[in-house]
A and B are shown apart, each in its own frame.
Chain A
Amino acid sequence: MSDLQQLYQTIILEHAKARHGAVELTPLAEAVALGAAGGLRVAESHQINTTCGDEVTLRVSLGAGDAGDTTDSAVTDLVWTGEGCSISQASASILTDTLRGLSATSARALLDNFREMLRSRGKIEPDEEILGDAAAFGGVSRYPARVKCAMLPWVAFEAALIEAESH
């Protein structure tokens, strides 16, 4: 596989088209009120990649943690809207598949692993057991200029999670 094919793996190109979790977002205030009625904390984050103008707005719904664990919460839903290159769009799509249903703690751990891998300039092999489909972004780490593209929705998730937890 050429470097370019490593970068644009089939699964990435497919997700860039399929855009799992991409919706037309309802007004945030409505979503927050609706979530609160159902015991969910809802927050979102809008991120822009100033290099290329790519944008992602990612909305997190946070519910109670497993078995009433009050120290943790669960990522019950993830939706997003955005516009950008295939890497950023596929990354958002794969993020929703990968993180939905995880505890906040597990989601953070996975995010940290993903970020470390992306910033390794190809030195860290992605761990498929941990990352699942997100391991497909291993090729991106050899393209420092594209790391931001892949990270964009994950940075949005990180910010939205903190915001939701503060509610």
Chain B
Amino acid sequence: MTSFAPSSALSSPTGAQHPEVGPLTNIDVERIRNDFPVLHQLVNGHPLVYLDSGATSQNPISVMEAEQEYYEQRNAAVHRGAHTLAVEATEGFEAAREKVATFVGAEADEIVWTSNATEAINLLAYSFSNASLGLGGPAARRFSLGAGDEIVVTEMEHHANLIPWQQLALRTGATLRFIPVLDDGTLDLLAAADVVGPHTRLLAFTHGSNVTGTINPVAELVALARRVGALVVLDACQTVPHLPVDVKALDVDFAVFSGHKMLGPTGIGALYGKAELLADMPPFLTGGSMITTVDMAQAEFLAPPQRFEAGTQRISQAIALAAAVDYLSETGMQRVQAWEAQLGQRLVAGLAEIPGVRLLGPGVGVERLGLAAVDVAGVHAHDVGQFLDDAGIAVRVGHHCAQPLHRRLGVTASTRASTYLYNTTDEVDLFLATLAEVAPFFGVKQ
């Protein structure tokens, strides 16, 4: 795929000069920041401090260049047409799949492109729904659900990994159950052993919480599912961008993640599925590019992953996502993980020092993602966010698409700071110092 040499190789991100050589430092991070133009601006008169990567991450120059290069030189429809550009576009598109697959430890034909992780989960839910209607023949019966079957999720799920399953249960007559969350924001694993039972057909849970930063014990949960023969769906949106993830080592059946949370563009995500499972699943979206033979009454479908990729695909996005994966790989995911773990611990240690601030989820010393959500006593999250924005600090406020978890933790909304490989310890400190000024500004006495 010489025609698709990642442009990151040309712009030489910092990581390329220091591949996995010792932990990242603030000096490395300053160099990394030079690859992210958006970070170098004033917001409300202050240098932007971007602490909302949990919602969407920023793009390095190499990612934007890859997308631009595609449109300038190779734009064509993939998997159709015999002209040179069509061949090059197809090669780039499939090389991107291979790269992303390798990044998460999968085979290329086990990666299905979707618009985002939400669509990936809906693809599963609707494929299972179709299987429940008898589509896909006898081979798809293993995905068929009905009355008496149970789908299990957790109380900490993002709405994207909850509502598609609620709807699937409504369509099929299956029952939705959930593993409860403890006061400290972690899963109640004792209860999990009861909830995941003989009727469980499917267990869907998040690898890392987008609210509490908790990293769930995948092996333990997978073991519960295996014991009863249930399929496992892993929401890896908050982990694939931030730490090394190997879907084979985790032994999950399906995993989903989003491109825009991992330095890539919006409009692309991926579904990983074990080859033998994808092979037996009926399609969700149907139309062009996913068929072999068609007559006026019926159609035969292609093998995965094309079976699940109807219509013109997200070609530029896939190619740009591959550039993002290059950037992350060259920096080194273990270094990214270690740096963010350090930022995460700095966050929670600092938060513990601010009166009236309650951290949601596990505290100092417990393994967590590089993010933290808090409740500031007496000040609504929206007001906290406004105060921080005035100082140029971008955070997420609200329920972060996890209303049930917020309700469980006794709050309606929270303020979340989420870091990435381009955040410095100074930025974390500035966030903490500014957060400490919030309650006094709003006249709340601690």
Contacts and interface: CB of A to CB of B under 8 A. Distances in A.
B416 to A, nearest CB: 13
A9 interface: no
Interface stretch (B96-104, B143-151, B170-178, B383-391): B383-391
B80 interface: no
A52 interface: yes
B286 to A, nearest CB: 32
Contacts, number: 46
B400 to A, nearest CB: 11
Contacts of B237: none
Contacts of A85: 380-383
Interface in A32-61: 51-54
Main secondary structure of the interface of B (DSSP, over half): mixed
A122 interface: no
Given A52-B397, A53-B399, A86-B442, A146 B380 contact: no
Interface residues of B, number: 18
18 contacts: A2-B390, A3-B44, A4-B387, A4-B441, A7-B386, A8-B442, A13-B442, A17-B443, A52-B380, A52-B381, A52-B397, A53-B403, A53-B413, A83-B412, A84-B382, A85-B383, A86-B379, A87-B383
**Which A-B residue pairs are the 5 nearest by beta carbons?**
A85-B382, A85-B380, A4-B390, A52-B398, A52-B382
A149 interface: yes
Given A53-B399, A53-B403, A149 B442 contact: no
Contacts of A84: 380, 382
Nearest to B384: A85
Nearest to B382: A85
A89 B380 CA distance: 10
Given A8-B442, A54-B382, A86-B380, A3 B390 contact: yes
B398 A53 contact: yes
Interface string B61-85: 0000000000000000000000000
Contacts of A52: 380-382, 397-398, 413
Interface residues of A, number: 20
A2 B397 CA distance: 22
Contacts of A8: 383, 441-442
Contacts of A51: 398
B412 A53 contact: yes
B46 to A, nearest CB: 12
Contacts of B403: 53
A146 B389 CA distance: 13
Nearest to A4: B390
B386 A4 contact: yes
A135 to B, nearest CB: 20
A86 B397 CA distance: 14
The CB with the most chain A CB atoms within 10 A, among B380, B398, B442, is that of B380
Contacts of A83: 412
A7 B385 CA distance: 13
A8 to B, nearest CB: 7
A13 B105 CA distance: 53
Contacts of B380: 52, 54, 84-86, 89
